[in-house]
Protein backbone atom coordinates (compact mmCIF):
# COMPACT_ATOMS: atom_id res chain seq x y z
CA UNK A 1 0.00 0.00 0.00
CA UNK A 2 1.49 3.32 -1.02
CA UNK A 3 1.10 6.83 0.31
CA UNK A 4 -1.43 8.92 -1.62
CA UNK A 5 0.28 11.61 -3.66
CA UNK A 6 -0.60 15.13 -4.76
CA UNK A 7 -1.85 15.73 -8.28
CA UNK A 8 -1.43 18.68 -10.54
CA UNK A 9 -4.51 20.80 -11.01
CA UNK A 10 -3.53 23.26 -13.66
CA UNK A 11 -6.48 25.18 -14.99
CA UNK A 12 -9.89 23.52 -14.82
CA UNK A 13 -12.51 23.19 -17.51
CA UNK A 14 -13.72 26.72 -16.88
CA UNK A 15 -10.60 28.22 -18.43
CA UNK A 16 -11.48 28.92 -22.02
CA UNK A 17 -8.17 29.04 -23.85
CA UNK A 18 -6.78 25.83 -22.42
CA UNK A 19 -9.77 23.96 -23.79
CA UNK A 20 -9.83 25.50 -27.25
CA UNK A 21 -6.65 27.38 -28.05
CA UNK A 22 -3.46 25.82 -26.67
CA UNK A 23 -2.39 29.10 -25.10
CA UNK A 24 1.09 27.96 -24.13
CA UNK A 25 2.25 29.02 -27.59
CA UNK A 26 1.75 32.74 -26.96
CA UNK A 27 4.48 35.30 -26.69
CA UNK A 28 5.07 39.00 -26.46
CA UNK A 29 3.39 40.79 -29.34
CA UNK A 30 5.44 42.97 -31.65
CA UNK A 31 3.26 46.04 -31.16
CA UNK A 32 2.45 47.34 -27.66
CA UNK A 33 -1.22 48.04 -27.05
CA UNK A 34 -1.66 50.16 -23.93
CA UNK A 35 -5.38 49.39 -23.72
CA UNK A 36 -4.90 45.66 -23.34
CA UNK A 37 -5.34 44.57 -19.74
CA UNK A 38 -6.43 48.02 -18.53
CA UNK A 39 -9.85 48.04 -16.81
CA UNK A 40 -12.47 50.05 -18.73
CA UNK A 41 -15.02 52.04 -16.71
CA UNK A 42 -18.42 50.42 -17.08
CA UNK A 43 -21.80 50.38 -15.40
CA UNK A 44 -22.20 46.64 -15.86
CA UNK A 45 -22.74 44.77 -12.58
CA UNK A 46 -19.62 42.95 -11.44
CA UNK A 47 -19.22 39.47 -10.01
CA UNK A 48 -15.77 40.11 -8.60
CA UNK A 49 -13.22 42.94 -8.66
CA UNK A 50 -9.54 42.03 -8.47
CA UNK A 51 -7.11 44.89 -7.86
CA UNK A 52 -9.62 47.28 -9.42
CA UNK A 53 -10.27 45.09 -12.47
CA UNK A 54 -13.82 43.83 -12.73
CA UNK A 55 -15.27 40.58 -14.07
CA UNK A 56 -18.89 41.06 -15.04
CA UNK A 57 -21.75 38.98 -13.74
CA UNK A 58 -22.59 38.16 -17.36
CA UNK A 59 -19.16 36.63 -17.94
CA UNK A 60 -19.26 34.79 -14.63
CA UNK A 61 -22.68 33.38 -15.49
CA UNK A 62 -21.49 32.29 -18.94
CA UNK A 63 -18.54 30.44 -17.39
CA UNK A 64 -20.82 28.84 -14.80
CA UNK A 65 -23.28 27.76 -17.49
CA UNK A 66 -20.50 26.19 -19.54
CA UNK A 67 -19.09 24.39 -16.52
CA UNK A 68 -22.49 23.04 -15.42
CA UNK A 69 -23.31 21.76 -18.90
CA UNK A 70 -19.85 20.21 -19.27
CA UNK A 71 -20.10 18.37 -15.95
CA UNK A 72 -23.59 17.15 -16.81
CA UNK A 73 -22.45 15.88 -20.21
CA UNK A 74 -19.28 14.19 -18.92
CA UNK A 75 -20.52 13.04 -15.51
CA UNK A 76 -17.44 14.59 -13.87
CA UNK A 77 -18.10 16.04 -10.43
CA UNK A 78 -16.22 18.72 -8.55
CA UNK A 79 -13.35 17.41 -6.43
CA UNK A 80 -14.11 17.66 -2.74
CA UNK A 81 -17.71 18.63 -3.42
CA UNK A 82 -16.83 22.31 -3.95
CA UNK A 83 -19.86 24.40 -4.89
CA UNK A 84 -19.66 25.20 -8.63
CA UNK A 85 -20.18 28.95 -8.15
CA UNK A 86 -17.26 29.07 -5.74
CA UNK A 87 -15.08 27.06 -8.12
CA UNK A 88 -15.83 29.43 -11.00
CA UNK A 89 -15.18 32.54 -8.90
CA UNK A 90 -11.93 31.05 -7.64
CA UNK A 91 -10.74 30.23 -11.18
CA UNK A 92 -11.67 33.68 -12.48
CA UNK A 93 -9.73 35.31 -9.65
CA UNK A 94 -6.70 33.11 -10.36
CA UNK A 95 -6.90 33.92 -14.06
CA UNK A 96 -7.09 37.62 -13.39
CA UNK A 97 -4.13 37.60 -11.01
CA UNK A 98 -2.04 35.67 -13.52
CA UNK A 99 -3.07 37.93 -16.39
CA UNK A 100 -2.33 41.09 -14.41
CA UNK A 101 1.12 39.80 -13.56
CA UNK A 102 1.70 38.86 -17.21
CA UNK A 103 1.07 42.42 -18.34
CA UNK A 104 3.26 43.75 -15.53
CA UNK A 105 5.99 41.41 -16.78
CA UNK A 106 5.80 42.84 -20.29
CA UNK A 107 3.41 40.40 -21.97
CA UNK A 108 1.49 41.95 -24.87
CA UNK A 109 -1.16 40.76 -27.26
CA UNK A 110 -2.36 43.10 -29.98
CA UNK A 111 -5.89 43.43 -31.28
CA UNK A 112 -4.78 41.79 -34.52
CA UNK A 113 -3.37 38.78 -32.66
CA UNK A 114 -6.60 38.44 -30.70
CA UNK A 115 -8.59 38.64 -33.93
CA UNK A 116 -6.44 35.82 -35.34
CA UNK A 117 -7.18 33.68 -32.30
CA UNK A 118 -10.91 34.26 -32.66
CA UNK A 119 -10.72 33.47 -36.37
CA UNK A 120 -8.92 30.23 -35.57
CA UNK A 121 -11.56 29.39 -32.98
CA UNK A 122 -14.27 30.09 -35.56
CA UNK A 123 -12.68 27.63 -37.99
CA UNK A 124 -12.20 24.97 -35.29
CA UNK A 125 -15.84 25.23 -34.25
CA UNK A 126 -17.13 24.90 -37.81
CA UNK A 127 -17.78 28.45 -38.94
CA UNK A 128 -19.28 31.74 -37.81
CA UNK A 129 -22.77 30.36 -37.26
CA UNK A 130 -21.44 27.51 -35.12
CA UNK A 131 -19.49 29.96 -32.96
CA UNK A 132 -22.52 32.24 -32.66
CA UNK A 133 -24.69 29.31 -31.60
CA UNK A 134 -22.07 28.27 -29.05
CA UNK A 135 -21.97 31.80 -27.62
CA UNK A 136 -25.76 31.97 -27.38
CA UNK A 137 -25.90 28.54 -25.76
CA UNK A 138 -23.60 29.54 -22.91
CA UNK A 139 -24.48 33.23 -22.69
CA UNK A 140 -21.39 34.87 -24.17
CA UNK A 141 -21.54 38.16 -26.05
CA UNK A 142 -18.86 39.08 -28.58
CA UNK A 143 -17.27 41.41 -26.01
CA UNK A 144 -17.37 38.96 -23.10
CA UNK A 145 -15.94 36.19 -25.28
CA UNK A 146 -13.15 38.47 -26.44
CA UNK A 147 -12.37 39.59 -22.91
CA UNK A 148 -12.41 36.03 -21.55
CA UNK A 149 -10.10 34.80 -24.30
CA UNK A 150 -7.72 37.72 -23.86
CA UNK A 151 -7.42 37.18 -20.13
CA UNK A 152 -6.99 33.42 -20.57
CA UNK A 153 -4.15 33.87 -23.05
CA UNK A 154 -2.31 36.24 -20.71
CA UNK A 155 -2.91 33.95 -17.72
CA UNK A 156 -1.61 30.91 -19.58
CA UNK A 157 1.52 32.82 -20.59
CA UNK A 158 2.21 33.76 -16.96
CA UNK A 159 1.51 30.22 -15.79
CA UNK A 160 4.07 28.90 -18.27
CA UNK A 161 6.69 31.34 -17.00
CA UNK A 162 6.13 30.12 -13.46
CA UNK A 163 6.22 26.39 -14.09
CA UNK A 164 9.27 26.79 -16.33
CA UNK A 165 11.19 27.72 -13.17
CA UNK A 166 10.92 24.16 -11.83
CA UNK A 167 14.32 22.45 -12.28
CA UNK A 168 14.61 19.13 -14.07
CA UNK A 169 16.72 17.76 -11.20
CA UNK A 170 16.38 18.30 -7.46
CA UNK A 171 16.97 16.66 -4.07
CA UNK A 172 15.09 13.35 -3.88
CA UNK A 173 15.10 10.12 -1.99
CA UNK A 174 14.04 6.56 -2.66
CA UNK A 175 12.07 5.00 0.19
CA UNK A 176 10.12 1.89 1.10
CA UNK A 177 7.32 1.93 3.65
CA UNK A 178 5.26 -0.32 5.84
CA UNK A 179 1.79 1.14 6.37
CA UNK A 180 -0.18 -0.16 9.36
CA UNK A 181 -3.74 0.39 10.52
CA UNK A 182 -3.07 1.09 14.21
CA UNK A 183 -0.35 2.05 16.66
CA UNK A 184 -0.18 -1.34 18.38
CA UNK A 185 0.60 -3.12 15.11
CA UNK A 186 3.11 -0.43 14.17
CA UNK A 187 4.95 -0.84 17.48
CA UNK A 188 4.99 -4.61 17.01
CA UNK A 189 6.53 -4.26 13.53
CA UNK A 190 9.05 -1.74 14.84
CA UNK A 191 10.06 -4.24 17.54
CA UNK A 192 10.62 -6.92 14.90
CA UNK A 193 12.82 -4.55 12.90
CA UNK A 194 14.81 -3.63 16.00
CA UNK A 195 15.41 -7.35 16.60
CA UNK A 196 16.87 -7.86 13.14
CA UNK A 197 13.90 -8.60 10.87
CA UNK A 198 14.45 -7.66 7.22
CA UNK A 199 12.50 -4.51 6.30
CA UNK A 200 11.70 -5.60 2.74
CA UNK A 201 10.42 -9.01 3.87
CA UNK A 202 8.12 -7.37 6.38
CA UNK A 203 6.98 -4.76 3.83
CA UNK A 204 5.86 -7.49 1.43
CA UNK A 205 3.74 -9.03 4.18
CA UNK A 206 1.65 -5.85 4.26
CA UNK A 207 1.90 -4.92 0.58
CA UNK A 208 2.22 -8.03 -1.53
CA UNK A 209 2.30 -6.11 -4.82
CA UNK A 210 5.07 -3.50 -4.40
CA UNK A 211 6.52 -4.28 -0.98
CA UNK A 212 5.85 -0.68 -0.01
CA UNK A 213 8.28 0.72 -2.60
CA UNK A 214 7.53 4.44 -3.01
CA UNK A 215 10.18 5.04 -5.65
CA UNK A 216 11.97 8.39 -5.87
CA UNK A 217 10.24 11.57 -4.73
CA UNK A 218 11.19 15.21 -3.92
CA UNK A 219 10.15 17.35 -0.99
CA UNK A 220 6.54 18.42 -1.23
CA UNK A 221 5.48 15.36 -3.23
CA UNK A 222 3.72 13.32 -0.54
CA UNK A 223 0.46 14.58 0.89
CA UNK A 224 1.57 13.50 4.37
CA UNK A 225 4.11 16.16 5.41
CA UNK A 226 4.77 14.53 8.77
CA UNK A 227 5.88 11.36 6.97
CA UNK A 228 7.89 13.24 4.37
CA UNK A 229 9.72 15.39 6.96
CA UNK A 230 10.72 12.35 8.99
CA UNK A 231 11.95 10.49 5.92
CA UNK A 232 14.13 13.33 4.61
CA UNK A 233 15.85 13.61 8.01
CA UNK A 234 16.62 9.86 8.20
CA UNK A 235 19.97 8.48 7.04
CA UNK A 236 20.35 6.04 4.16
CA UNK A 237 19.76 2.46 5.28
CA UNK A 238 17.88 3.56 8.40
CA UNK A 239 14.17 3.41 9.15
CA UNK A 240 11.93 5.89 10.92
CA UNK A 241 9.99 5.57 14.13
CA UNK A 242 6.28 4.80 13.60
CA UNK A 243 4.61 7.97 12.28
CA UNK A 244 0.90 8.63 12.52
CA UNK A 245 -0.96 10.28 9.64
CA UNK A 246 -4.57 10.57 8.54
CA UNK A 247 -4.33 7.27 6.67
CA UNK A 248 -2.53 5.13 9.25
CA UNK A 249 0.85 4.46 10.85
CA UNK A 250 3.99 4.54 8.72
CA UNK A 251 7.48 3.12 9.10
CA UNK A 252 9.80 4.09 6.27
CA UNK A 253 13.19 2.84 5.18
CA UNK A 254 15.45 5.27 3.30
CA UNK A 255 16.95 3.26 0.45
CA UNK A 256 18.84 5.98 -1.46
CA UNK A 257 19.33 9.75 -1.53
CA UNK A 258 20.42 12.00 -4.39
CA UNK A 259 20.84 15.78 -4.27
CA UNK A 260 20.32 16.09 -8.05
CA UNK A 261 17.98 13.32 -9.14
CA UNK A 262 15.92 13.77 -12.30
CA UNK A 263 12.23 14.33 -11.65
CA UNK A 264 9.79 11.77 -12.97
CA UNK A 265 6.92 13.20 -15.10
CA UNK A 266 4.52 12.77 -12.18
CA UNK A 267 6.89 14.42 -9.71
CA UNK A 268 7.51 17.26 -12.18
CA UNK A 269 3.77 17.91 -12.39
CA UNK A 270 3.58 17.89 -8.61
CA UNK A 271 6.43 20.41 -8.33
CA UNK A 272 4.87 22.63 -10.98
CA UNK A 273 1.55 22.54 -9.18
CA UNK A 274 3.24 23.51 -5.93
CA UNK A 275 5.04 26.46 -7.54
CA UNK A 276 1.80 27.72 -9.11
CA UNK A 277 -0.20 27.16 -5.92
CA UNK A 278 2.34 29.00 -3.76
CA UNK A 279 2.51 31.90 -6.23
CA UNK A 280 -1.27 32.29 -6.30
CA UNK A 281 -1.46 32.17 -2.50
CA UNK A 282 1.13 34.95 -2.24
CA UNK A 283 -0.62 37.07 -4.86
CA UNK A 284 -4.01 36.65 -3.24
CA UNK A 285 -2.68 37.76 0.15
CA UNK A 286 -1.20 40.90 -1.42
CA UNK A 287 -4.26 41.75 -3.60
CA UNK A 288 -7.56 43.50 -3.19
CA UNK A 289 -10.32 41.02 -4.02
CA UNK A 290 -13.98 42.02 -3.74
CA UNK A 291 -16.54 39.29 -4.46
CA UNK A 292 -19.88 40.97 -5.13
CA UNK A 293 -22.19 38.03 -5.72
Number of folded domains that form the chain? 2
- Per the domain annotation, does 3 fall within a domain? no
What pLDDT digit, counting tens, does each position of 245-290 carry? 999 999 999 999 999 999 999 999 999 999 999 999 999 999 999 9
Are 50 and 159 members of one domain?
yes
Q: What is the pLDDT of residue 59?
A: 87
pTM: 0.72
Specify the pLDDT at position 190: 97
Phi-psi region for residue 195, left (φ > 0), alpha (ψ -120 to 50) or beta?
A: alpha
Calculated CA dihedral for residues 166, 159, 94, 33, nearest 10 degrees: 150
Q: Which runs of E-coded beta strand occur in the chain?
A: 46-50, 53-56, 169-180, 213-218, 243-245, 248-262, 289-291
Task: For residue 82, name the pLDDT band (cuts at 50, 70, 90).
Answer: confident
Q: What is the pLDDT of residue 168?
A: 94
Predicted confidence (pLDDT) per residue in 168-181, tens digit: 999 999 999 999 99
CATH at 223:
3.10.50.40
pLDDT value, residue 147? 87
Distance CA 168, CA 260 (A): 9
15 or 157, higher pLDDT? 157
Tell me, what's the pLDDT at 158? 97
- The per-residue pLDDT for 81 is 66
pLDDT tier for residue 102 given thresholds of 50, 70 and 90: very high
Considering the domain architecture, whether residues 135 and 256 belong to the same structural domain is answered as: no
CB atoms within 10 A of CB 38: 10
Question: Is there a single domain that holds both residue 249 and residue 191?
Answer: yes
> Are 186 and 159 in a shared domain?
no
Helices and strands (H, E) in the chain, number of each type: 10, 7
277 and 248 assigned to the same domain: no
Q: What is the mean pLDDT of residues 228-251?
A: 95
- 154 & 282 share domain: yes
- Report the percent of the chain where pLDDT is more than 70: 82
89 located within any domain: yes
Q: How far apart are CA 144 and CA 274, in angstroms?
A: 31
pLDDT in tens, 4-36: 333 323 333 333 333 333 334 334 333 334 344
| Distance in angstroms (rounded) separating the CA atoms of residues 218 and 203 | 22
- Do residue 65 and residue 154 come from a single domain? yes
Does 285 lie in the same domain as 230? no
Claim to verify: residue 59 and residue 20 sit in the same structural domain:
yes
Q: What is the pLDDT of residue 144?
A: 84
Average pLDDT taken over every residue of the chain? 84
Assign 80 a pLDDT band (cuts: 50, 70, 90).
low
Q: Is the pLDDT of residue 235 over 60?
A: yes
Q: Which domain holds residue 236?
A: 169-262
The pLDDT of residue 137: 86
Amino acid sequence: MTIMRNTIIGFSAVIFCLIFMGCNKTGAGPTPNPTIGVPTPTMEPMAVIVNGEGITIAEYQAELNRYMIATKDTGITTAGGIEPRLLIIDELINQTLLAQSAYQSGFQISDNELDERINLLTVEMGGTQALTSWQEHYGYTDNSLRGSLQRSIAAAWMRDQLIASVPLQTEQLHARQILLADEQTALSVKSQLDNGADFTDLAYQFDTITGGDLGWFPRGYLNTPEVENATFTTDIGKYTEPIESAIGWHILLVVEKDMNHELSPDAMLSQQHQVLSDWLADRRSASSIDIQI
